[in-house]
Amino acid sequence: MRPPVGVPRVRDYWRMLVRSWLVILCATGLSAGAAAAAGVFLVDPVYAASTQVFAVVPGDAQTHAAYEGNRGASVRAQTYAALATSSIVTLRTIDELGLQETPAELAERISVRSVPDTLSRFNFPVSVLMGVTVTGGDPDGTVAVANSVTANLIAASEELEWHDSAAGPALLLIDDAKSAPEVPRPWWRDAGTGAALGLVLSALAVLALGAGRDRILDRDQIGYLATGSTVGERSEDAP
């Protein structure tokens, strides 16, 4: 079969996809299901243990002093959050528990947020209550790391705020970590990624198979073939 010039065109590719819509749909659905199942059964679970600390600023009982103390503690909350993932805290935690990881790797497992997690119009936390969360693959080990990180964070904050031979503004432990529940994995993300991959690969496969066949895709090709055959016959008959 003589291939037409300039064919297949864009609309021919579109016709290939439309004709094979059921194949593409099935491939997309199967890919989404396989990706979601792989995320549930093949990915190791992640556990999270949390503690709560309260930022305090010593001062007298006057209203203005109490307001300034609360404001100062709120401003320091961002500093305490950065301190929790610093090498000052992570190195002490690694040495204390004998962890086989670097300070940077441990810092990636630590997160600190104010409770509630809202900011003022000056972009400072409105609460001086903070939650320290540590993730890991072992529930008991994650609890131990969370408590150690919190204890070292409190000690480091007191050392940094030391003033006039006494501990300055620091953190007060409210709740320590007692358990590490499993972190739910969003299966829809895995399913969405698998669906997108299945859609693209199945569409490309359909187009590749369709373009590689010696098959008429459009009635215009019939006219082209008929015209080409007529011209060829005339050329052969010409002296």
Mean pLDDT by 10 residues, the chain (239 residues): 55 82 91 85 88 70 42 64 91 94 94 67 57 93 95 87 58 90 84 90 86 58 52 47
Q: How far apart are CA 106 and CA 139, in angstroms?
A: 15
Contact of 58 with 149, CB cutoff 8 Å: no
* The pLDDT of residue 43: 79
Topology of the domain covering 47-175? Alpha-Beta Plaits (3.30.70)
| The 110-114 sheet, strands edge to edge | 110-114, 129-136, 47-56, 170-175
Sign of the CA dihedral 123, 127, 129, 135?
negative
* The pLDDT of residue 55: 77
* The pLDDT of residue 107: 94
Which DSSP symbol is given to 183?
P
* The pLDDT of residue 169: 56
Distances (CA, A) of 100 to 91, 94, 103: 11, 8, 10
**Residue ranges of domains in the chain:** 47-175
